[in-house]
Structure 1
Amino acid sequence: MHSKKKSILSAAIALGLGAGLAACGSSGGDTAPAPAPAPAERSFKRVASFPVCAQLGSSCESDDTTAAEIVAASTDGMTLVYSNSPAGEIGFIDIADPAQPRPAGSLKVGGEPTSVSVLGAYALVAVNTSADHVNTSGKLLVVDIATRAVVATLPLGGQPDSVAVSKDGRYVAIAIENERDEDLGDGAPPQLPAGHLAIVDSVGAPATWTLRNVDLRGLAARFPDDPEPEYVDINDDNVAVVTMQENNHVVMIDLPTGKVLRHFPAGAVTLAGVDASDNRPALISLTETLQDVLREPDGVAWIAKDRFVTADEGDLAGGSRGFTIFNADGTVAWASGTELERETVRLGHYPDRRSDAKGNEPENVDYGRYGDKDYLFVASERASLLFVYDIANPLAPVLKQALPAGSAPEGVLAIPSRNLLVAASEADDRSIIVRSVVNIYSYGEGAPTYPTMKSVDRADGHPIPWGAISGLAAAPADSTRLFAIDDSFYRANRIFGIDVTKKPAAIDTELRITDTAGVLAALPVADAASADRAANFDSLDLAAMINPDKTVNLDPEGIAVASDGGFWIASEGGGTVGEAGRPVTSHNLILKLDATGVIRRVITLPAALNAVQLRFGFEGVAESDGKLVVAFQRAWNREANPRLGIFDLAAGTWSFVHYPLEPVASPNGGWVGLSDITALGNQQFLVVERDNQAGPDARIKRLYRIDLKGAAAGSTLAKTLVRDLLPDLKAQGGLVVEKIEGSAVLANGDVYVVNDNDGVNDNSGETLLLKLGRLQ
């Protein structure tokens, strides 16, 4: 360890690390009068995420699939109403205190609710009651929000999708999609019956409302006999704009008369500088071009009487990965191009496995005026982000923020009257640690709190792609820099340099790990000290581990800065001995890299341990006093606790001790294991211990201190709790993230932790790089 860092941290330990972490800050003497304050910055901040499963019980201990798809608000903005398709119901949330949303009950609707809107005291719920894709039917339920009673039912004559209410309350427009069967043939239209627009004249008591239909056949060039209206919105002149996604067409209808005013194709775009390939392992490369991609718009919102915005999600053969501002005459006022794709890469939210499909996949849009500011909100379904644009000039929108939105945001709702913004994220599967949430954001003074980290542009003008951060380390004598690594989700593993003085922290360098010296390639021979040791490596898949350009595909889970320069990397082995479904393809390795990322040495486990390999192997590495210490995530060979491996660099020998894990505490079961280890000096270490649960099921996310002085080989260590991380994670306003994977202590004592977002695969994509405080 660098002497300066060692002395600082040793002094910090002497002051009492076991007492916890102190809040960051400093105090000083008298200062000069402060200058006049600049105008306060205003932004949106997530204040709460309401898990839909909370309607089933406050502890969310149910495996039932739930979802919040489309969300609306009561006229006073105190109650949210959302559609829950899997449960066949609508749900209510009390947001009198937005930071403490409370479940307020649910109502079965006798079918699949597809959308919801609000008119006065009523929630208007579109319900699909179709027997199949040919025999379509639906209804509009009028529900008294206060009593939760259905006061009227209007038959719709088809499968409904979106519902919109005019500002004067005189009209309700319902897109009757009659969606196609995606499993029939290749899923392409035409598949009758055709869709249409339903108009409800909503003056008077709901029992007196009447229904009219608008025929949309023969308008679109694509599938003219099978219009599939997707989304509808209404402007101040009671003109409805309707997107027909599969038809790549837009229609405007005068609601008082039911006449089609105009219609036009949504058009196509050419996207240069995007990733159009799904690589396994993932490789984000913004170097491809998609020619003449159909927009195929989904969500739509008016931003003025004569302009509207479409979220160009795509479906059959399109998806421009952005959004478009249209003039009412059908001309394009502005198009986002590749901006959303680039920004999701910059924020570590890029869904690489959707590269060959629709990329970040913009799903929906909404507009709101907050004070004197006009904002446009764009929900990205696959990147799980909500983009905030200042549209003071709708011909030149300015991206102001990107907000974390849970997994797969579908509905977005501006509530300017309460300075609130809401997004409904529908993905829900407790078995893969994903829960559907309704996200609540507050608009007020202060800088954005998300992202916590983003990348700068490379020399080629593209942002450094990143994600799946699995390890963290501190620069030895520079309290401004951290280093991180990505794991096996990505091809060509890299080390990232992070400037923590920036807000958010800036990933400003990337260093690829390479085997240009041939050390890894020679491993089965060069490291074979005996015949039985050579046999130990028979299962290594070196062809998969080393790319043609000598970059490597490993599973880096831990990183430490080496005392003599370069880095130590702990790579987790792949597969479990004796498990047919998970054959061993790689072993747990410690790699010594020089400062340029070239592998110079590989350290392996003893053959006896490799013979009982469990796939939960190396998770962290630290160097201290001439030794490397690696943390095994879980116990191998039916031992009671996981090992810490201690490798003497001079002698080249291993010894092992055991770490006492906490018992499983989550109502969802799972396991508890280790995720990182950080050297503190004087043979003391900081350890990350966590369960594999997230959201309301998470129970254990903790930092402990251990001391290896005098620890006998084979012994079980004692540990001291330093910090429970659950309050820190809950304070971010979202669901608790699962994988706290990295920890580091800067030379000045600042402690950082970071989570792994799994490359946005079955994950909200959030990466939280949290500065916790200083060691005492």
Structure 2
Amino acid sequence: MKYPLLFISLLAIGFASCSKEDTAPETEKPEEEFFVNEDAATFAEIGSIDIGETGAAEISAFDAQTKRLFVVNNDEKNGAVNRIDVLDFSDPKNMKLIHSISMQPYGGAVNSVAVFDGKLAAAIESTDKQANGKVAVFKTSDYAEIKSVTVGALPDMITFSPDGKFILTANEGEPNAAYTNDPEGSISIITVDNNYAVTTVNFSAFASKQAELVAKGFRVFGPSNSFVKDIEPEYITVSEDSKTAWVTLQENNGIAKINLTTKTITDIFPLGFKDYTADGNEINVTDKDGGSTVLAKWNVKGVYMPDAIALVESNGTPYLFTANEGDAREYTAFVEGERIGKLTLDPAAFPNAADLQKEAQLGRLNVTKTLGDANGDGKYEALYSFGARSFSVWNGNTGAQVFDSKNELDVKSIAANVYDDGRSDDKSVEPEGITVGKVGNKKVAFVGMERADAVAVYDVTDPSKPSFLQLFKCGDAPEGVLFIPAKNSPTKKSLLVVSSENDGVVKVYTPIQFNNPQP
């Protein structure tokens, strides 16, 4: 009898061990423990849920312990919606709304969410957008509040460091409509183990370098005429060892580097400009060309102005992947964008200005009025449009560009018949979201394109040479792209969750084919 009892005891221990494994936080499970030889070029939709209208389903975060998906919902059409919706994600093919966490007690709209080890962190702006915002932390199990702390103005994105010791927010600090109140842009670093103590840092240490930075393509141009107030942090990624963070400064066309040990900003990397006269950079610049999708060279530059940022570390080098969306400042007191057809072009630089300014040529293209008139005579000798219609890879140590997708996102979108010619005069496919993950034996990047309503998938195993794998349709205006690795997935397969802000739809994708076993 003792052998059956021993067997039962061992079996019980085994089940207990498996249970603990399933609920352990992602960072405690080495990647090599779980491997599925998936084909990263075969992602297809397996599930979808509609949680609202415009403003719903902006950003999502997944908790492996409870198998729940937490989704930002600021539905603009159904009243004063300001909440985090909780979805049962145990079966991604049949997601169900099971709870909502109201953000009304904490202030204004909730902008972003992140999850780590049973904790849900939310970035919430103030009802007065120029005032300091809050971060609220909840248990993913019963939604009880753990802590609420004050951060900088307009926290727009939130993330945990991989070790869970820090919560970081990119505090955009947007001005009011009259531009009479322009808060400082900042980064808040919250130390979880120190009772969620907050250190908020601004960019004052670099104010003396403004001229040097601007000469390299950094932008400081708002009516507040203040370096510190003009900078607007957008999105954050963190190194695998949780010691370094990088933050996109979208309107300013730069990336900041942060030492998380000392809680200081150590670098600002200006990103420069993209040349649309170069081979491979051809673009479509007008929505008044009879629906043509022909791409051509134009004497225009692109301002990268990245939104989302993701990280791939390879051979000791951090590679930063950016979605080069572009974003114009548009306020009652200050509008920087203008169509080329309404500008006065310098005849020395543009001898054929009369033709170029026709609607079927460059006349419809939106550009910034803050660049291109170097001598201030009101005549533009250069033209700078918003965004770069691409994703790029940058060396995280130096800020040097090591790759740009050129016009491939346009080319692939046109081939897939998802290109929106009505956006040719603005930012084209408008790459906005980007995330990376390991699918089978490949590192893969997913690029969400807001105006193409599609996601492009790239093999980035060699970060300096991304190669296109596939493109698939998603919801209307994808805002969030969330990768769930197979080892933490409820299906034990890699999952991509795409949340779209214009239709409030959350869609789930997974590889449907597998590679042959490795010899």
User: Normalising by the residue count of structure 2, what TM-score does the alignment of the two structures yield?
Assistant: 0.70
Match of 1:69, SS? strand
Q: Which residue among 260, 266, 270 is the counterpart of 1:255?
A: 260
Q: Highest relative contact order (Cα 8 Å, sep 6+), 1 or 2?
A: 2
Equivalent residues in 2 for 1:328-727, closer than 5 Å: 328=396, 329-416=398-485, 417=487, 418=489, 419-428=494-503, 436-445=504-513
- 1:130 offset after TM fit, Å? 3.6
Match of 2:92, SS? coil
Is the contact between residue 66 and residue 140 of structure 2 (CA under 8 Å) also seen in structure 1? no
Is the contact between residue 169 and residue 203 of structure 1 (CA under 8 Å) also seen in structure 2? no
Partner of 2:165: 170
Match of 1:273, SS? coil
- Name the amino acid aligned to 1:89: R
Q: Which residue among 140, 145, 154 is the counterpart of 1:150?
A: 145
Q: Which residue among 246, 249, 260 is the counterpart of 2:251?
A: 246
Partner of 2:43: 44
Between 378-387 and 213-222, report the one with greater CA deviation: 213-222
- 1:76 offset after TM fit, Å? 3.7
Partner of 2:347: none
Partner of 2:94: 100
Mapped partners of 2:405, 2:55: distance in 1 = 33
Residues 1:308 and 2:320 aligned together? yes
Match of 1:393, SS? coil
Mapped partners of 1:41, 1:248: distance in 2 = 35
Is the contact between residue 68 and residue 424 of structure 1 (CA under 8 Å) also seen in structure 2? yes
Is the contact between residue 374 and residue 392 of structure 1 (CA under 8 Å) also seen in structure 2? yes
Mapped partners of 1:214, 1:131: distance in 2 = 21
User: Normalising by the residue count of structure 1, what TM-score does the alignment of the two structures yield?
Assistant: 0.47
Mapped partners of 1:376, 1:264: distance in 2 = 22
Partner of 2:287: 278
- Name the amino acid aligned to 2:62: A
How many equivalent pairs are there? Answer: 382
Match of 2:306, SS? coil
Partner of 1:501: none
Q: Which residue among 69, 76, 80 is the counterpart of 1:80?
A: 69
Is the contact between residue 152 and residue 188 of structure 2 (CA under 8 Å) also seen in structure 1? no
| CA RMSD in angstroms, aligned pairs only | 2.1
Match of 2:443, SS? strand
- 1:281 offset after TM fit, Å? 5.0
Residue by residue over 1:641-688, the C-alpha shift from the partner in whole angstroms, topping out at 9 and shown as x without a partner, is xxxxxxxxxxxxxxxxxxxxxxxxxxxxxxxxxxxxxxxxxxxxxxxx
- Name the amino acid aligned to 2:247: V
Mapped partners of 1:332, 1:321: distance in 2 = 15
Equivalent residues in 2 for 1:161-200, closer than 5 Å: 161-181=156-176, 183-184=177-178, 192-200=182-190
Mapped partners of 2:501, 2:311: distance in 1 = 24
- Name the amino acid aligned to 1:443: P
Match of 1:406, SS? coil
- Cα gap change, 1:40/1:104 in structure 2, threshold over 3 Å: closer, same or farther? closer
Mapped partners of 1:176, 1:387: distance in 2 = 28
- Cα gap change, 1:372/1:274 in structure 2, threshold over 3 Å: closer, same or farther? same
- 1:375 offset after TM fit, Å? 0.3
- 1:372 offset after TM fit, Å? 1.7
- Name the amino acid aligned to 1:313: E
- Name the amino acid aligned to 1:312: N
Is the contact between residue 38 and residue 511 of structure 2 (CA under 8 Å) also seen in structure 1? no
Residue by residue over 1:410-457, the C-alpha shift from the partner in whole angstroms, topping out at 9 and shown as x without a partner, is 0111101321111111103xxxxxxx211101124269xxxxxxxxxx
Is the contact between residue 276 and residue 290 of structure 1 (CA under 8 Å) also seen in structure 2? no
- Name the amino acid aligned to 1:413: L
Q: Give 1 or 2 for the bigger CA radius of gyration.
A: 1
Match of 2:99, SS? strand
- Cα gap change, 1:371/1:41 in structure 2, threshold over 3 Å: closer, same or farther? closer
Partner of 2:115: 118
Mapped partners of 1:48, 1:400: distance in 2 = 21
More helix by share: 2
Is the contact between residue 52 and residue 66 of structure 1 (CA under 8 Å) also seen in structure 2? no
Partner of 1:324: 392
- 1:210 offset after TM fit, Å? 0.2
Gaps of 5+ in 1: 1-38, 54-63, 429-435, 448-776
Is the contact between residue 54 and residue 502 of structure 2 (CA under 8 Å) also seen in structure 1? no
- 1:179 offset after TM fit, Å? 1.8
- 1:289 offset after TM fit, Å? 2.1
Deviation >4 Å, runs of 4+: 39-42
Partner of 1:201: 191
% identical equivalent positions: 30
- Cα gap change, 1:119/1:71 in structure 2, threshold over 3 Å: closer, same or farther? same
- Name the amino acid aligned to 1:262: D
Mapped partners of 2:451, 2:174: distance in 1 = 22
